Amino acid sequence: MELRSVGGGNALRLAGYAAVFDSPSEDLGGFVEYVRPGAFTRTLQGNRLDPLALVHHMPHLVLGRRSAGTLRLAEDSRGLHFEVDMPDTTTARDLAVSVERGDIRGASFAFTVAPGGDAWTVTGDRVQRDLHDLDLHEITITATPAYPDTEVARRALATLTAPRLRVARRWMETL
- Residue 42 scores a pLDDT above 70: yes
Rounded alpha-carbon distances, angstroms, from residue 124 to 18, 24, 127, 129, 142: 30, 17, 8, 14, 33
Residues 6+ away with beta carbon under 8 Å from 33: 24, 25, 128, 129, 130, 131, 146, 147
Q: What is the pLDDT of residue 12?
A: 85
Three-state DSSP at 43 gives helix
Per-residue pLDDT reduced to its tens digit, 106-134 = 999 999 999 999 999 999 899 999 999 99
Q: Which long-range contacts (CB under 8 A, 24 or more apart) does 23-28 make?
A: 23/79, 23/147, 23/148, 23/149, 24/147, 25/146, 25/147, 26/146, 26/147, 26/148, 28/146
| More confidently predicted of 149 and 71 | 71
Can you give the pLDDT at residue 153?
A: 45
| Model pLDDT, residue 46 | 84
Structural domains in the chain plus CATH codes: 2-173 (3.20.16)
pTM, 2 dp: 0.81
Which range has the worst mean pLDDT, 11-20, 40-49, 105-114, 152-161? Answer: 152-161
pLDDT tens sequence across 59-103: 999 999 999 999 999 999 999 999 999 999 999 999 999 998 989
In one-letter notation, the amino acid at residue 76 is: D
Can you give the pLDDT at residue 169? Answer: 46
Burial class (CB in 10 A: 0-12, 13-18, 19+), 10: middle
pLDDT attached to residue 6? 54
